[in-house]
C-alpha cells in the first residue's frame, strides 16, 4: 500500500521526519518497505499483512498513527444531502444472496459532466500508484484510497431495467469485464445484474457494458459489503485481482458503506457537477453486529509475561477506537470497531496491547525444561553416513527434488510410478524425481564444464513415487557418483582412474562404518541407466538394497562426459534396518597366525565370490581371513582364464599351528578347487 505523507496529513498531524515515522510504524507491525518521493512528497510503501485490510487506506493509516502518537483524527467533511423528498430517478436494489452480500447501499446522481479531475486529485492518485481516468472514476478511486472502501459507479442509462439485482451467475455464462477480457462465470460467482443480465462481477470488476463514458450524465453509485471468501474464490478462479477484490477478500467494513458513498456523492457534487436524483437506499437484510470480546487483565499477563496496568489497557484500546465496558473484576467487555476484520478472540486484543506496549518491553524469560531432548530416528545414521563418505573425499550435493520429462526417459524409475505436480512452475518441475542419478550426473556435467574432471559427489535425499492408492510417497535414498582420477594428480599418485571397484570399496567402507553386519554385491540384471557389463546390486540380508555400476554408454555419450562415471543408489531404509548392529567382543587370539598365498588359474567366468563361498563352506574354522591380493591375465595364462592370488590366514585359538596342519588346510582347499572348478595351483 502506497501512502503519501502529504495526503496523510489531511487526517492526522505528523511532526516526525519520514525516517522516524518509518521506524515507528515498523515497530507497530506496519513495515515500511521503501520510501520514495512523488510530486514532491514522501510516499511510503507499506507492507500491510493480510489480516489488516483496515490499513489499506490513508485514513486507515492515519488511525494507527493517531493512536501511536495520541493525536486526534480529522475526518473529511461531507456536505452532500443523501436523500431528497421525491426521487427524479426511481431505482430499485434487490439482494438475492444475503449470505454473499449482507449489505448494499446505492444512490443515483444526475447532471454529471464527465471530464478530467482536478490536479490535486490526480497528483494524489498518482502518488498512490493509480492512473487518473475521468472525474467520476477518479473520485471512486480517491475515496477507496482515502477511506478504504471499494465503490463502483455504473452508467445509469445503460442499466436496462433501472435496477440492481445482486445474485449468483449462471453456470457457464460469459461476461466481458472493464479490461476488455471475456470471462466465463460459474454458479458460485456473485454478480451485479440490471434485471436483464450482468453488469459487474460483484466486488471484483465492472462490466464493459456499464462503463462510465464521456457521454455519461447519470450514475448509480454502489457501496456494498461482499463476503470475503466468495470474493477471493471468484478472484482466484478468474485470475483477476483488483484494488476492490483485494480489500473485500481481506474483509471490508460493512459500516463504512454509508460514509463512503456520502463522501463520493459530496465529491461528485463538488467536482463533476452531479446532483442527487435517487435517494440513498440502504439494503441491509442481515445486520452484522460488531465483534465483542471479553478481556481479562490476568490473561494479558499469562500470554505476554508482562504486567500491563488497567490504565494502559483501557487507554490503548480506547485510542484504537475499541469500546470498553467493565465486566467484573479486572475484566472488560470490549466492542471492536467494525473495520477491524482481524478481531475474533481475546488473543487478538492482547496483540493490540502488545503492539503498543512494545514487544521490546516484554521481559525475556527462559522456561525451565520439562522434557528430554530426542534426536530424530535417522539423525545418527544420516550423520554417520555423511561423516564417513565425506571423509573419503566425497562432496555432499543437494539437487532439486523435481524432474522433467527427459529425466524420466533417461533415468526411468527402478520401481513404482512417478508422481506428477498438478501445477508445475516450469517443465523442470513437472514431476518429482524417482532417482538421484539424474541430478548427480547433471551436477557432474556442470563441474566438467568448469574444467573439473575429478568429481566425487554424494546426496542423501528423497525420491518420490506414486503409491498404490494414487497418493505420492517419499523414501530416503543415498546416491553416490565418482568419475575421473582416483586421486588428484600428484607426484605420489598411483595413476589409477576411478572404476567400479573404487565405488564398491567406498560403499563397503560405508556399510562397515555404520556396522551393517553383512552384505553382498552381486551381478545385476538389466538396469536401464547402467552399463550391463558393469552393474551390480547390493544385497543386505535377503533384501535388494540398491544398485551400482557405471553409467550406460548411451548416457555417457549423450552427456558428452568423455570418461566413465560410476553411480550407486542405495535405499536408506534398508541400511537403517541393519545398521548399528551392537558390537560384541571377540577375545584376542593368544597364538600366532599363519599366512599362505596361493595362485589359482580359473575360468574368467567363474565369479570370485563363488570360489570364496566354496572355500568357506569347507568348514575350516581355522581359516580366519581370505584376501584376493592379485589378479593376472595375460601371456602366461591361457585364453579365457585368469590367475587369482589368494592370501589365506589361519589361526587356532587353542594352540600354535604346526606347519603340517597349515599344509593340510591348503591341500584340502586346493583339492576342493581342483575337483570343483578343474583348476589348480598356477605353475610359475
Partner 1 sequence: MSESIDNLRRLFEEDLAAIDGMESWKAVRDKYLARESGVITTELKKLRDLPKEARPAFGQAMNQLRALVEKKLQERLDEAKAAEASTKLQRIDVTRPGFPFALGSIHPIKRLQSEIEQIFVSMGFQIFNLPEIERDYYNFEGLNMPRNHPARDAQDTFYFDDSVLLRTHCSSVQVHAMEELKPPIRAISTGKVYRRDPFDATHSPMFYQVDVIVIEEGITMGDLKGMLDVFLKRMFHSDIRMRLRPGFFPFVEPGAEVDISCIFCSGKGCPTCKQSGWVEILGAGMVHPKVLRMSGIDDSRYSGFAWGMGIDRVAILKHGVDDIRLFFENDLRFLRQF
* Interface with partner 1 in residues 439-458 (CB under 8 A): 443, 446-447, 450, 452, 455-458
Nearest-approach distance from CB 361 to partner 1, in angstroms: 10
How many CA within 13 A on the CB side of residue 351? 12
Q: Which of residues 14-73 bind partner 1 (CB under 8 A)?
A: 26-29, 31, 49-52
Q: Whose Cβ is closer to partner 1: residue 302's or residue 681's?
A: 302
Nearest to 185 by CA among 165, 200, 166: 200
Candidates 317-325, 399-407, 596-604, 607-615: pick the segment binding partner 1 (CB under 8 A). 399-407
Q: Which of 250, 340, 418, 433 binds partner 1 (CB under 8 A)?
A: 250
Candidates 92-100, 276-284, 356-364, 584-592: pick the segment binding partner 1 (CB under 8 A). 356-364
Nearest-approach distance from CB 351 to partner 1, in angstroms: 4
Query: CA geometry: angle at 243 spanning 321 and 230, to 5°?
Result: 85
Candidates 54-62, 163-171, 391-399, 634-642: pick the segment binding partner 1 (CB under 8 A). 391-399
How many residues form the binding site for partner 1 (CB under 8 A)? 98
Residue 369, helix vs strand vs coil: coil
Residue 667, helix vs strand vs coil: helix
Distance separating alpha carbons of residues 391 and 372, to the nearest angstrom: 32
Q: Which of 70, 77, 215, 423 binds partner 1 (CB under 8 A)?
A: 423
Q: Which of residues 94-133 bind partner 1 (CB under 8 A)?
A: none
Strand partners of residue 641: 603
Q: Whose Cβ is closer to partner 1: residue 77's or residue 371's?
A: 371
Strand partners of residue 535: 549
Contact string (CB under 8 A) for partner 1, positions 297-316, x = contact: ----xxxxxx----------
Say if residues 413 and 436 touch (Cβ distance below 8 Å).
no
Nearest-approach distance from CB 48 to partner 1, in angstroms: 9
Q: Whose Cβ is closer to partner 1: residue 379's or residue 591's?
A: 379
Q: Which of 370, 526, 562, 655 binds partner 1 (CB under 8 A)?
A: 370
The torsion of the CA quartet 378, 384, 387, 393, rounded to 10 degrees, works out to -100
Q: Which of residues 400-419 bind partner 1 (CB under 8 A)?
A: 400-402, 419
Distance separating alpha carbons of residues 414 and 424, to the nearest angstrom: 24
Q: Which helix (H) or strand (E) holds 26?
A: helix 18-26
Q: Which of residues 493-552 bind partner 1 (CB under 8 A)?
A: 493
Bin 668: left if φ > 0, else alpha if -120 < ψ < 50, else beta: alpha
Nearest to 148 by CA among 337, 353, 428, 18: 337
Nearest-approach distance from CB 457 to partner 1, in angstroms: 6
Nearest-approach distance from CB 44 to partner 1, in angstroms: 15
Residues in the chain: 684
Q: Which of residues 215-244 bind partner 1 (CB under 8 A)?
A: 228-229, 232-233, 236
Q: Whose Cβ is closer to partner 1: residue 474's or residue 557's?
A: 474
Contact call for residue 87 and partner 1 (CB under 8 A) = no
Say if residues 67 and 319 touch (Cβ distance below 8 Å).
yes
Q: Which of 77, 86, 215, 371 binds partner 1 (CB under 8 A)?
A: 371
Can you say how many angstroms the Cα of residue 365 is from the centroid of all Cα atoms in its chain?
32
Q: Whose Cβ is closer to partner 1: residue 391's or residue 663's?
A: 391
Q: Which of residues 588-617 bind partner 1 (CB under 8 A)?
A: none
Who's near 256: CB < 8 A, 6+ residues apart? 147, 148, 149, 338, 339
Q: Whose Cβ is closer to partner 1: residue 33's or residue 557's?
A: 33
Contact call for residue 573 and partner 1 (CB under 8 A) = no
536-553 burial by CB neighbour count: b if 16+ within 10 A, else e?
bbbbbeeebbbbbbbbbe
Q: Whose Cβ is closer to partner 1: residue 307's or residue 597's?
A: 307
Q: What are phi and psi of 94, to 5 degrees?
A: -130, 125
Contact call for residue 261 and partner 1 (CB under 8 A) = no
Residue 322, helix vs strand vs coil: coil
Nearest-approach distance from CB 42 to partner 1, in angstroms: 17
How many CA within 13 A on the CB side of residue 408? 21
Nearest-approach distance from CB 81 to partner 1, in angstroms: 38
Q: Whose Cβ is closer to partner 1: residue 158's or residue 466's?
A: 466
Distance separating alpha carbons of residues 19 and 35, to the nearest angstrom: 9
Nearest-approach distance from CB 413 to partner 1, in angstroms: 16
Q: Whose Cβ is closer to partner 1: residue 536's or residue 574's?
A: 574
Contact call for residue 472 and partner 1 (CB under 8 A) = yes
- Across 541-577, where does the E strand assignment appear? 543-551, 565-571
Q: Whose Cβ is closer to partner 1: residue 118's or residue 305's?
A: 305
Amino acid at each position: 500500500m502506497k501512502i503519501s505523507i502529504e495526503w496523510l496529513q489531511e487526517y492526522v498531524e505528523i511532526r516526525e521526519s519520514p525516517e522516524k515515522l518509518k521506524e515507528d510504524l515498523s515497530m507497530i507491525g506496519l513495515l515500511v518497505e521503501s520510501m520514495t518521493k512523488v510530486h514532491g512528497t514522501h510516499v511510503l510503501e507499506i507492507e500491510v499483512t493480510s489480516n489488516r485490510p483496515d490499513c489499506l487506506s490513508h485514513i486507515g493509516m492515519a488511525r494507527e498513527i493517531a493512536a501511536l502518537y495520541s493525536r486526534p483524527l480529522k475526518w473529511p467533511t461531507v456536505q452532500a444531502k443523501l436523500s431528497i423528498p421525491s426521487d427524479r430517478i426511481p431505482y430499485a436494489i434487490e439482494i438475492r444472496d444475503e449470505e454473499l452480500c449482507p449489505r448494499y447501499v446505492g444512490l443515483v446522481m444526475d447532471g454529471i459532466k464527465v471530464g478530467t479531475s482536478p490536479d490535486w486529485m490526480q497528483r494524489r492518485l498518482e502518488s498512490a500508484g493509480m492512473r487518473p481516468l475521468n472525474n467520476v472514476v477518479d473520485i471512486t478511486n480517491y475515496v477507496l484510497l482515502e477511506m478504504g472502501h471499494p465503490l463502483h459507479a455504473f452508467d445509469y442509462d445503460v442499466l436496462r431495467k433501472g435496477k440492481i439485482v445482486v445474485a449468483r451467475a449462471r453456470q457457464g455464462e460469459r461476461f466481458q469485464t472493464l479490461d476488455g477480457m471475456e470471462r466465463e462465470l460459474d454458479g458460485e460467482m456473485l454478480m451485479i445484474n440490471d434485471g436483464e443480465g450482468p453488469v459487474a462481477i460483484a466486488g471484483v470488476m465492472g462490466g464493459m457494458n456499464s462503463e462510465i463514458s464521456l457521454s455519461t450524465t447519470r450514475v448509480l453509485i454502489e457501496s456494498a459489503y461482499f463476503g470475503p471468501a466468495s470474493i477471493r474464490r471468484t478472484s482466484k478462479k478468474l485470475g483477476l485481482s483488483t484494488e476492490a477484490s483485494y480489500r473485500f477478500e481481506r474483509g471490508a467494513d460493512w459500516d463504512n458503506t454509508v460514509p463512503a458513498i456520502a463522501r463520493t456523492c459530496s465529491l461528485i457534487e463538488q467536482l463533476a457537477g452531479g446532483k442527487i436524483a435517487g435517494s440513498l437506499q440502504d439494503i441491509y437484510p442481515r445486520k452484522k453486529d460488531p465483534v465483542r470480546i471479553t478481556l481479562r487483565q490476568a490473561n494479558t499477563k499469562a500470554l505476554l509475561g508482562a504486567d500491563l496496568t488497567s490504565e494502559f489497557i483501557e487507554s490503548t484500546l480506547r485510542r484504537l477506537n475499541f469500546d470498553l465496558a467493565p465486566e467484573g473484576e479486572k475484566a472488560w467487555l470490549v466492542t471492536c470497531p467494525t473495520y477491524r476484520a482481524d478481531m475474533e478472540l481475546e488473543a487478538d486484543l492482547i496483540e493490540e496491547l502488545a503492539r503498543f506496549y512494545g514487544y521490546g518491553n516484554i521481559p525475556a524469560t527462559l522456561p525451565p525444561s520439562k522434557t528430554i531432548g530426542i534426536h530424530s530416528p535417522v539423525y545418527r545414521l544420516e550423520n554417520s553416513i555423511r561423516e564417513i563418505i565425506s571423509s573419503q573425499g566425497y562432496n555432499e550435493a543437494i539437487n532439486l527434488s523435481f524432474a522433467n520429462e527427459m529425466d524420466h526417459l533417461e533415468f526411468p524409475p527402478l520401481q513404482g510410478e512417478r508422481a506428477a505436480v498438478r501445477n508445475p512452475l516450469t517443465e523442470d518441475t513437472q514431476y518429482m524425481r524417482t532417482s538421484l542419478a539424474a541430478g548427480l550426473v547433471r551436477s557432474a556435467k556442470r563441474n566438467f564444464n568448469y574444467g573439473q574432471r575429478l568429481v566425487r559427489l554424494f546426496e542423501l535425499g528423497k525420491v518420490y513415487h506414486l503409491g498404490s492408492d494414487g497418493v505420492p510417497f517419499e523414501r530416503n535414498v543415498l546416491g553416490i557418483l565418482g568419475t575421473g582420477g582416483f586421486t588428484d594428480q600428484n607426484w605420489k599418485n598411483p595413476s589409477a582412474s576411478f572404476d567400479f571397484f573404487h565405488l564398491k570399496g567406498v560403499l563397503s567402507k560405508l556399510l562397515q562404518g555404520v556396522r551393517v553386519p553383512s552384505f553382498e554385491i552381486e551381478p545385476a540384471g538389466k538396469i536401464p541407466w547402467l552399463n550391463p557389463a558393469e552393474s551390480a546390486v547390493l544385497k543386505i540380508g535377503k533384501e535388494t538394497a540398491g544398485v551400482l555400476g557405471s553409467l550406460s554408454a548411451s548416457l555417457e555419450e549423450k552427456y558428452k562426459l568423455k570418461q566413465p562415471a560410476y553411480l550407486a543408489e542405495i535405499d536408506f531404509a534398508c541400511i537403517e534396518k541393519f545398521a548399528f548392529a551392537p558390537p560384541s567382543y571377540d577375545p584376542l587370539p593368544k597364538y600366532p597366525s599363519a599366512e599362505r598365498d596361493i595362485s589359482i588359474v580359473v575360468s574368467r567366468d567363474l565369479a570370485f565370490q563363488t570360489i570364496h563361498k566354496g572355500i568357506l563352506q569347507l568348514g575350516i574354522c581355522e581359516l580366519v581371513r581370505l584376501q584376493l591380493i592379485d589378479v593376472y591375465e595375460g601371456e602366461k595364462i591361457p585364453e579365457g582364464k585368469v590367475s587369482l592370488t589368494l592370501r589365506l590366514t589361519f589361526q587356532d585359538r587353542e594352540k600354535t599351528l604346526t606347519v603340517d596342519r597349515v599344509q593340510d588346510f591348503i591341500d584340502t582347499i586346493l583339492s576342493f578347487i581342483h575337483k570343483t572348478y578343474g583348476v589348480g595351483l598356477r605353475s610359475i
